[in-house]
A and B are shown apart, each in its own frame.
Chain A
């Protein structure tokens, strides 16, 4: 009985994972071996879609662009969220709970609504271009949207609250006493940061970067609206193939490729996490 207890306790979660994740993933993998012509499904078994993906420079470009956009967003979001997370972690202020709520408050607003907000700010006639033009800094609008810049700016801000939470979750080992010890022994603030704070918060940085990367590479609404349809990524390719050309098998194959990217990111995380443990 004692031996079977863990298995029993795991059974509900295991059953849900099997039915809601593994089984559909299996179907997806099976679907990816089929074929479609002119949107009409043809039941076949073969690797046509994978050959098409990996032998076409356009799709390899989509894969590469997705990885670098998601990596850049992860780096930018960690850079921007790190000081906020560190401040929140250390703060003894009575306002701390309020500040924490303010940091994650954007999560209460749908990312679609926040993307629309960015469209108002970044557009050719948006606030930023309006301000710069009024100040005489630029003569013609700078294109901040409908290209990859819009995607980077929008995704970074939209994912920052999540990055902050992930960073905070990994800051448990940061001990103020150790920083104080370093300072009392004469370390200047920058050395104290590089030698004590940064290494101790590294687990948080790794988790924060991983979570942001995974969310960024699977984002669809923000990149397609702020990219103006001009920034083809894995997620937007899946959407187009599934819902515009109706080539479900190819969409499934791209989805499997995306899952493989997740897998590689997880392997990288495992290695880094072990190193900073």
Chain B
């Protein structure tokens, strides 16, 4: 017994300095985010430089599916979270915040919160602190193949019967479908909060032109390989694919304007390594990795101190000319009516032929 006791004592003493330095981030954290090109670029722009800055922390990147699928995984693990940091679309993080899946952040633990633009904030938590903010901006664009003539400019082209079978985009409740509905209301000269019957009538004309609501593998690729002509997508991915396809894909902000989208970075409630997770979130919100993410993926930074060179800025959603075309959306209102919008789309817009 005595040697065992000694061993335990020695181990306890050896751990003392570690305990004293508990505030220093160390150990392992799991960051869950999008797969594919996002993962490749996020590793280079954020995860690897973070690990170089904090050698005591090991980051495991867990590639999830879409935002709703990732929130589903977190929901299933709520009793025993396996993920520390969650990267997710702002429209879904709102649900995670409401369900207590995410924990609020404060400026003491995450100093870079102070420099986050107000547009990127997800609001104050009821018990103090604020919800995980956005680390990037993106904007809705019309995407089309370089052979499409005349080049589409907005909602009227999506409604044009000449484009039947050529259009691809994701339906409501996806943010793309939701944004198309908001822009269609604008095209009709209406407020998107007004009764939606006239908008649904217009959307049915768009729905009849849609080739498939299940673009495979995605809208961008279908247009690049000629299977579809026109789509609605996000600027950052469009810019990325414009480079990859040597100009086969083109993109433009619609005449009616655009809608800003954001990806948020969140601390999972009950995270096993909250100290390192907060250090990671703080790093993700700092200027340097946001500039690198813009260079690799054309995401607009949310840190006011992140400065992009003019030619890069022009291709992100943070370009002043692009920002000027964005229309403000009350997402809390949209969330409150999304179930009704979804029901109308499933019954009337999606089956339209």
Nearest Cβ on chain B to A23's Cβ, whole angstroms: 15
Nearest Cβ on chain B to A112's Cβ, whole angstroms: 10
Q: Are B72 and A39 in contact (CB under 8 A)?
A: no
Residue in chain A with minimal CB distance to B338 = A38
Interface band, chain B: 20 to 34
Nearest Cβ on chain B to A24's Cβ, whole angstroms: 12
Nearest Cβ on chain B to A63's Cβ, whole angstroms: 15
CB neighbours of A41 from chain B (8 A): 75, 99
CB neighbours of A124 from chain B (8 A): 165, 211
CA distance A125 to B210 in the complex (A): 16
Interface bits A102-130 vs B (CB < 8 Å: 1, else 0): 00000000000000100100011100000
Q: Is A37 an interface residue (CB 8 A)?
A: yes
CB neighbours of B338 from chain A (8 A): 38-39, 245
Q: Are A38 and B69 in contact (CB under 8 A)?
A: no
Nearest Cβ on chain A to B206's Cβ, whole angstroms: 14
Most central of A123, A224, A240, A246 by chain B CB within 10 Å:
A246
CA distance A248 to B78 in the complex (A): 15
Which of B179-187, B189-197, B212-220 binds A? B212-220
CB neighbours of A230 from chain B (8 A): 213, 350-351, 353
CB neighbours of B165 from chain A (8 A): 124
CA distance A116 to B71 in the complex (A): 28
Q: Is A242 an interface residue (CB 8 A)?
A: yes
Q: Is A229 an interface residue (CB 8 A)?
A: yes
Q: Is A154 an interface residue (CB 8 A)?
A: no
CA distance A228 to B165 in the complex (A): 11
Which of B15-23, B259-267, B310-318, B339-347 binds A? B339-347
Q: Are A225 and B72 in contact (CB under 8 A)?
A: no
Q: Is A243 an interface residue (CB 8 A)?
A: yes
Interface bits B68-87 vs A (CB < 8 Å: 1, else 0): 11011001000000000000
Q: Are B98 and A229 in contact (CB under 8 A)?
A: no
Q: Is B147 an interface residue (CB 8 A)?
A: no
Q: Are A40 and B339 in contact (CB under 8 A)?
A: no
Q: Is B159 an interface residue (CB 8 A)?
A: no
CA distance A146 to B68 in the complex (A): 24
Interface bits B318-353 vs A (CB < 8 Å: 1, else 0): 000000000000000001101100110011001101
Q: Are B339 and A245 in contact (CB under 8 A)?
A: yes
CB neighbours of B69 from chain A (8 A): 243
- Partner pick for B173 among A40, A228, A244, CB 8 A cutoff: A244
- How many pairs, one residue from A and one from B, have CB atoms within 8 Å of each other in the complex? 72
Nearest Cβ on chain B to A3's Cβ, whole angstroms: 41
Q: Are B214 and A224 in contact (CB under 8 A)?
A: yes
Q: Is A58 an interface residue (CB 8 A)?
A: yes
Q: Is B158 an interface residue (CB 8 A)?
A: no
Interface band, chain A: 20 to 34
Q: Is B171 an interface residue (CB 8 A)?
A: yes
Q: Are B339 and A229 in contact (CB under 8 A)?
A: no
Q: Are A58 and B347 in contact (CB under 8 A)?
A: yes
Nearest Cβ on chain A to B232's Cβ, whole angstroms: 15
CA distance A248 to B75 in the complex (A): 10
Q: Are A228 and B335 in contact (CB under 8 A)?
A: no
Residues of chain A touching chain B, judged by Cβ–Cβ distance below 8 Å, are: 37-41, 58, 116, 119, 123-125, 146-147, 224-225, 227-230, 232, 240, 242-248
CA distance A230 to B347 in the complex (A): 10
Nearest Cβ on chain A to B217's Cβ, whole angstroms: 10
Nearest Cβ on chain B to A67's Cβ, whole angstroms: 18
- Partner pick for B99 among A40, A224, A227, A247, CB 8 A cutoff: A40
Q: Are A245 and B98 in contact (CB under 8 A)?
A: no
Residue in chain A with minimal CB distance to B342 = A245
CA distance A217 to B353 in the complex (A): 24
CA distance A115 to B94 in the complex (A): 35
Q: Is B7 an interface residue (CB 8 A)?
A: no
Nearest Cβ on chain A to B215's Cβ, whole angstroms: 9
Q: Are B95 and A146 in contact (CB under 8 A)?
A: no
Q: Is B174 an interface residue (CB 8 A)?
A: yes
Nearest Cβ on chain B to A147's Cβ, whole angstroms: 8
Nearest Cβ on chain B to A143's Cβ, whole angstroms: 8
CA distance A125 to B211 in the complex (A): 12
Nearest Cβ on chain B to A132's Cβ, whole angstroms: 17
Q: A123-B227, A227-B214 are in contact. List 7 more A-B contacts (CB 8 A).
A: A38-B335, A40-B95, A228-B211, A242-B72, A244-B174, A247-B339, A248-B75
Q: Are B66 and A229 in contact (CB under 8 A)?
A: no
Residue in chain B with minimal CB distance to A245 = B173
CB neighbours of A224 from chain B (8 A): 214
CB neighbours of B213 from chain A (8 A): 228-230
CB neighbours of B336 from chain A (8 A): 38
Interface bits B220-247 vs A (CB < 8 Å: 1, else 0): 0000000100000000000000000000
CA distance A37 to B94 in the complex (A): 13
CB neighbours of B98 from chain A (8 A): 40
- Partner pick for B66 among A116, A146, A243, CB 8 A cutoff: A243
CA distance A232 to B350 in the complex (A): 10
CB neighbours of B212 from chain A (8 A): 146, 228-229
Q: Are B173 and A229 in contact (CB under 8 A)?
A: no
Nearest Cβ on chain B to A173's Cβ, whole angstroms: 44
CB neighbours of A123 from chain B (8 A): 227
CB neighbours of A116 from chain B (8 A): 216
CA distance A149 to B75 in the complex (A): 37
CB neighbours of B66 from chain A (8 A): 243
CB neighbours of A242 from chain B (8 A): 72
With A228-B212, A244-B68, A244-B173 in contact, do A39 and B95 touch (Cβ < 8 Å)? Answer: yes
Residue in chain B with minimal CB distance to A125 = B227
